[in-house]
Structure 1
């Protein structure tokens, strides 16, 4: 698959010859107006634009797990509410549809007398299948690869020649001096809505989700938990780009980037990690916006190992994206990229893990936090994943599915890449990562405070 934008009706310079009458902009995991090249391309190409977000109620997975928790749903609703308000400032609107993209976009395109759709490129199987089905309906899909920090075309190797090991990848990028592109400014104006937009939208739109932090998660069967390290129900941690940019600014203003490496393995709290990942996952914030703020911070206050480590983590995020460009659907098979046998799976063990009933205190504390809040520290994600795979002898794909359901910062690339890495079925030549639980307790919760926090009602 190609990471480049597919576009028709362009001249040799890649700019539109003539503006088309109407186009649909399909928001996926890019819920922002700033640094959104696909949106800029749409605005330059069309005289009128309909902005659409498609909700779909997925059936449960083969592991008997839901596809999305109330935590994720609330955070998404918050992000979409913020995006809608920003679009309204421009005189536009966001049409939310409770159907899959392949179900509604062909009919919407017909209703608005257009065949043209703009969206971001997502190199994961389900998302690629959506694009292929839409094209089979005769629609013109203009897709733009834009979620990575680095532009694939600027790398010192092609996607097919991506190094198998992250360290080799990182050294190649740094030795070549690859610099991320600057964030793209939001359009000064948005093309207007078609004249008949409101008439047609009335048939399709779903009821707006009003986000109220004083109420429980809508339809989730759970409650907001004051112990959360990312209290998404508070305005400062809301899902939209408004909260994301405010958090980005305050994080660097407070100098937290100079201590990140020392605190990143802590288990609980608001400030031990950057907390950028939920907004990165929904696209309310881009990696290039973070990089720009990081470099400005280093220019003003100096660089150190900790500020470098933020760049390091952004490169890991890119590496998992590029793995998808190289291997695609193979990353979702039982074997992954390995020659290991099909993993064993004990469904009862898996259910006990999901329900925080394994009998291992640190693991149960982590799984309790995950279910109660939709978040979990990076250190604990590795610990509970290792325990599921190696101690409970369960299929790594079941764990990946549970994380997809629960995590408000679920990202298809990073989730798949990290589970493959722990299971020893990714591109790394090491045979996985099995954690010694007692050593982890000694190193990260020696006083038992975290375990008491999440195992005591």
Structure 2
């Protein structure tokens, strides 16, 4: 069913004679406002925090007092030897679903070149992908390959399934520990856990700063750049005239996916070279990404724009250097520009 959140749930309340809603706790402004709205109109809300690798209650500090700097956060976590929170066991039985009159269903067309070919939705597909990733011992090479631009194996590609809740960061980290027990720990396995910890860090920051992370100035003292619709069209459509940027933006638009390295490069170009509004770029990623995650998307854009907790105040990338480092033979550009 589609429509205004309150209208939809009020209709469901009448149809199935129930007013208790179970949902994931998402500590971001829009999601918190929706929960508050439903609660204020008579619904009973049962929210569950479930998407982090670590349990916030296990951390060696209150979330509202967590270190701002990721390195300090990581060091405190590692000092306590925290690796993951044990996943909750699956329920032994689930009641049958009620019969609902569905007046409208908004169909999703997932037919993108990356999505349809490699990212089939659901828990079973997530399990198959994760298993083959570990069985082929790809974690060993993760640190060396994670900044590549083409293919399925240069990074874990767990993010689409994590974003949809088809797998959990905790279960992946638990499997990673088992993998290290079998094959030994190395830079690759550590770095895979390290990136999952970054994911947690962006989540937990929301408990400390909340809506401030969504202001134009973020946690800084200065607002972002002004929005320019003409510049935004050139950037979002891949028509800036800078070949690496255009290739990346066209891949994003066509597939709904982009490597982590390219996400940083195109974001930096938009903010620093085109003097674009970082919030507009952040919103475009939200609209395009098949692995969109509110915490990671917001956190990474704040990080690049210098509006978050990073003491270096922003991360501008030299496009010429990035091109030479990551696409010296032009293979990636040729793939998306021809």
TM-score, normalising length: structure 1: 0.72
Taking the TM superposition and a 5 Å limit, the aligned residue runs for 1:81-120 are 97-120=1-24
CA drift of 1:179 comes to: 3.9
Provide Cα deviations, 1:362-405, integer angstroms capped at 9, x if missing partner. Answer: 00010111111111110000000000000101100000011001
Q: Equivalent residue for 1:295?
A: 177
1:250 and 1:128, CA in 2 relative to 1: closer, same or farther beyond 3 A? same
Q: Does 1:151 align with 2:55?
A: yes
Taking the TM superposition and a 5 Å limit, the aligned residue runs for 1:218-257 are 224-225=112-113, 231-234=114-117, 237-257=119-139
Question: How much is the aligned-residue C-alpha RMSD, in angstroms?
Answer: 1.6
CA drift of 1:106 comes to: 2.6
Q: Equivalent residue for 1:310?
A: 192
Provide Cα deviations, 1:79-99, integer angstroms capped at 9, x if missing partner. Answer: xxxxxxxxxxxxxxxxxx223
Provide Cα deviations, 1:55-99, integer angstroms capped at 9, x if missing partner. Answer: xxxxxxxxxxxxxxxxxxxxxxxxxxxxxxxxxxxxxxxxxx223
C-alpha contact (below 8 Å) 1:106/1:134 kept by paired residues: no
Question: CA separation in 2, counterparts of 1:342 and 1:247?
Answer: 39
Matched position secondary structure for 1:184:
coil
1:342 and 1:309, CA in 2 relative to 1: closer, same or farther beyond 3 A? closer
CA drift of 1:449 comes to: 1.1
Taking the TM superposition and a 5 Å limit, the aligned residue runs for 1:7-46 are none
Pick from 256, 259, 282 the counterpart of residue 374 of structure 1: 256
From the two aligned structures, give the one with the greater strand fraction.
Answer: 1
Structure number with greater Rg is 1
Q: Equivalent residue for 1:50?
A: none
CA drift of 1:232 comes to: 2.2
1:382 and 1:248, CA in 2 relative to 1: closer, same or farther beyond 3 A? same
Matched position secondary structure for 2:46:
strand
Pick from 302, 322, 328 the counterpart of residue 210 of structure 2: 328
TM-score, normalising length: structure 2: 0.96
Provide Cα deviations, 1:279-338, integer angstroms capped at 9, x if missing partner. Answer: 111111110111111111111111100000111000000000011111111111100000
1:102 and 1:244, CA in 2 relative to 1: closer, same or farther beyond 3 A? same
CA drift of 1:224 comes to: 3.8
Question: CA separation in 2, counterparts of 1:100 and 1:251?
Answer: 40
CA drift of 1:243 comes to: 0.3
Q: Does 1:348 align with 2:226?
A: no
Aligned residues: 338
Q: Equivalent residue for 1:134?
A: 38
**4+ long deviations beyond 3 Å:** 205-209
CA drift of 1:342 comes to: 3.9
C-alpha contact (below 8 Å) 1:124/1:324 kept by paired residues: yes
Question: CA separation in 2, counterparts of 1:205 and 1:318?
Answer: 38
CA drift of 1:191 comes to: 2.1
C-alpha contact (below 8 Å) 2:133/2:156 kept by paired residues: yes
1:341 and 1:187, CA in 2 relative to 1: closer, same or farther beyond 3 A? closer
